[in-house]
């Protein structure tokens, strides 16, 4: 007889400006029976997702992890499948509300793999359209890109170095990255 565990939720938004999206996820997770919800406001591409790590560490055999959508949990299909494999190795079920996927069933496991692939495909198409739009805007002279903040301070970097400041001190004083300081100094030689 399988162990009955807790139903745990995980919610994430990409930025702190998406409060409504986070609240909607938390509401949906609560409605799904989650007794505890881990949540964070940071991009999926962030190197560390501390609340996801905490949630994964918290889960025990028999528990169920519930998320609103797959892209709230994973960066890519490979990441989604890796997380699902980790959960499976711990005896934890994954439920994705938007897709009505539940990995406690063989069909749910198959659907997760297929839908993860479709989600990644859609994201790749969106990024491709974005790149095409940027290229068109550049060709039309309407897109300049991000202003180079460090390069604009090259004279200050060189002056401060001549005054004897270290690279770290220069970076701190000018509010630019340490690597930018050394790149400017290297290019100035």
Residues classed as catalytic:
14
Rg from Cα positions in the chain: 23
**Within the chain, how many helices (H) and strands (E) appear?**
8, 5
How far apart, in whole angstroms, are the C-alpha atoms of residue 37 and residue 156?
A: 48
4: left (phi over 0), alpha (psi -120 to 50) or beta: beta
Phi/psi of residue 67, each to 5°? -130, 155
E-assigned strands of the chain?
A: 7-13, 36-41, 64-67, 93-96, 101-102
């Amino acid at each position: 007889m399988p162990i009955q565990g807790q139903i745990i939720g995980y919610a994430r938004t990409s930025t702190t400006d998406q409060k409504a999206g986070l609240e909607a996820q938390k509401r949906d997770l609560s409605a799904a029976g989650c007794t505890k919800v881990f949540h964070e406001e940071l991009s999926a591409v962030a190197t560390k997702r501390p609340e996801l790590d905490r949630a994964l560490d918290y889960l025990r055999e028999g528990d169920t992890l519930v998320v609103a959508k797959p892209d709230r949990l994973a960066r890519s299909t490979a990441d989604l499948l890796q997380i699902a494999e980790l959960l499976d190795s711990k005896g934890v079920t994954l439920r994705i509300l938007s897709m009505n996927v539940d990995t406690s069933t063989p069909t749910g496991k198959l659907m997760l793999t297929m839908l993860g692939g479709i989600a990644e495909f859609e994201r790749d198409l969106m990024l491709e359209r974005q790149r095409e739009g940027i290229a068109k805007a550049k060709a039309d002279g309407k897109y300049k890109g991000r202003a180079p903040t460090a390069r604009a301070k090259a004279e200050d970097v060189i002056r401060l170095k001549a005054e004897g400041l270290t690279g770290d001190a220069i970076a701190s004083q000018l509010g630019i990255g340490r690597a930018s300081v050394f790149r400017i100094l290297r290019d100035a030689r």
